[in-house]
Amino acid sequence: MDLTNIYASLPADLVATFSMVLVALVALALVVWDAFRNNAPGIPWAGVVALGVAIVWELFALGDAPGTAWYGMVRTGGFAAFVNIVVLIGALLSIILSVPYLREIRHAHGEVYAIILFATVGMMLLGTANNLVAVFVGLETMSISLYILTGLVREDEGATESALKYFLLGAFSTGFFLYGIALLYGATGTMDLARMSEGLAAGENLVMFWAGVGLLLVGFLFKVSAAPFHMWTPDVYQGAPTTLTAYMSTATKAATFASLILVLYAALPPERWTMVLAVIAVLTMVVGNVLAIAQQNVKRMLAYSSIAHAGYVLVGLAAGTPAGYAGALFYLLVYSIMNIGAFGVMALLEWDGKEGQTQTLNSLAGIGPRKPLLGATMVVFMFALVGFPPLGGFWGKVAVFAPAVEAGLTWLVIVGVLASAVSAYYYLRVLYVFWMRSPEDEPEAAAVQDRVFAVPVTSAAVLIVCVVLLLYFGVRPGGILETTASFFAGPGASMALLP
């Protein structure tokens, strides 16, 4: 192998993946900064600035033609830019929400923000990876950072327990994921996603190939918490610090689904597992929505709801058409915004000093009139999660359900619509308790609501930004949907993603 010109493409690669490099370098700098000035108040804001710069950079890359950088390891261009924007926005909003929240629960360590940035780098690598080696490294960078964030409050038994569950099950699923990679590599002779199908055609290892795809899917479905691999989700989301749950439940899903879309779209032969994905989507939607009804704890309810939303995204993937993948990407963006908003409100309504693990929905009876901003924004987030028309959630559901109907999966869409009708019950119950009940109705509510802390200006700003974005997605979804569709369209439609 000739190594003389190995650095020739370095400047171009650095520009193409500038946002990822920037976030990684800033994360390293924050670790050093925290070592010299312990818990310096500027640390989270330096992270916010880095993420903001990265978002602006990626916005300019949205229209770029697809390509690769770092010798085919990482994908660049529109698709990568869109995934990066979703992940970066999730990280940015979560960090701003986390600053006052972590101070309130007395865990405002500087390292937290560095670890969030490391997880973000992992997600960006995962969502844009063009090679199974990069997929694995991105996935693990993300996961290991998230195990730490889950167990952040290590004095608390619940938080540590959820970290252990997340870690053990996550490491277990990594084993399957990795075995899948190894078998795919053996069957096709390459780690490069774009060259997999031709590698398969050259070899005759069909059994090995499909076994590898199956194991890889198990790993992916675990990370996006699809049934029957969803068991860890409620426990982990309930035990983790609330603003970090917001981060975990949104950016992680966006990056993992993006990687799954790339694998389904670029690496697998045309028969695309529609039936398997459809069955998993039905299971996920039913399990998530039905179990969410019974929850008394809002964080746990939102955890089951996030399982249900993974099911809706899987409907788009099951369609297996470019429109389905484009709709899934749009859904991930909308879902990230509304879920960060909902978890952000719950973080600001916490009174139990145990990351909201023990507080019931009824203890927040009548909180709406007392905290009008939180109550009013929660109305928007809940209606968006149900999928009511003037908000982004509605167009998100249209974007994943319509392609599935076109692909002949009408039964799947009927199940999905029925499932979201069920979801209206538990989302709107939150609003009922917030606005229609009064603290006097609930013996426990009157005593505890004074312990809810004041709403900081920065958190209020984040919630309002989320509301504005959801209204924008609801009123003008066209531009973004066209953008996501353009990643999968154009001349030679199925190859548009490939360089």
Partner 1 sequence: MEITLNWYLSLSAVLFVIGVLGVLMRRNAIVILMSVELMLNAVNLTLVALSQAMGDVAGQILVFFVMAVAAAEAAIGLAIIIALFRKKVTVDVNEFHLFKY
Q: Site residues (CB under 8 A) for partner 1?
A: 132-133, 136-137, 140, 144, 147-148, 151, 154, 157-158, 160-165, 167-168, 171-172, 174-175, 178-179, 181-183, 185-186, 189-191, 234-235, 238-239, 291, 294, 300, 357
Question: Is 370 or 429 the residue whose CB approaches partner 1 more closely?
Answer: 429
Nearer to partner 1, 293 or 417 (CB): 293
Closer to partner 1 by CB, 239 or 366: give it. Answer: 239
Contacts with 104 (C-beta within 8 Å, 6 or more apart), sequence order: 350, 453
Cβ distance 167 to 235 under 8 Å? no
Q: What is the nearest approach in angstroms of partner 1 to the Cβ of residue 216?
A: 12
* Cα gap 299→227, rounded to integer Å: 19
**Minimum CB distance to partner 1 smaller for 165 or for 272:** 165
Q: Closest distance between partner 1 and the C-beta of residue 137, in Å?
A: 5
DSSP state of 454: P
Residue closer to partner 1, measured from CB, 185 or 472: 185
Phi-psi region of 40 (alpha: psi -120 to 50; beta: other; left: phi over 0): beta
Instruction: Give whichever of 205 and 243 is closer to partner 1, judged by the CB atom.
Output: 205
Place of tokens 């960078």: 141
Output 75 or 437, the one with its CB closest to partner 1.
75
CB of 9 to partner 1, least distance (A): 19
Separation in Å, CA 21 to CA 37, 127, 238, 279, 461: 24, 15, 33, 39, 28
Q: Are 341 and 442 within 8 A, CB to CB?
A: no
Residue with Cβ nearer partner 1 (201 or 294): 294
Other beta carbons less than 10 A from residue 440's beta carbon: 10
Bridge partner list, 131: 192
Nearest approach in angstroms of CB 12 to partner 1 is 23
CA distance 489 to 93: 31
CB of 332 to partner 1, least distance (A): 26
What CA–CA distance (Å, rounded) separates 397 from 405? 12
The encoded tokens of residue 75 equal 């994908």
Q: What is the DSSP string of 227-252?
A: TTS-THHHHHHHHS-HHHHHHHHHHH
What letter represents residue 170's amino acid? G
CB of 210 to partner 1, least distance (A): 16
3-state secondary structure of 93: helix
- Name the minimum Å distance from CB 205 to partner 1: 10
Q: How far is the CB of 92 from partner 1 (least distance, A)?
A: 25
Q: Which is it for strands 67-69 and 74-76: parallel, antiparallel or unpaired?
A: antiparallel
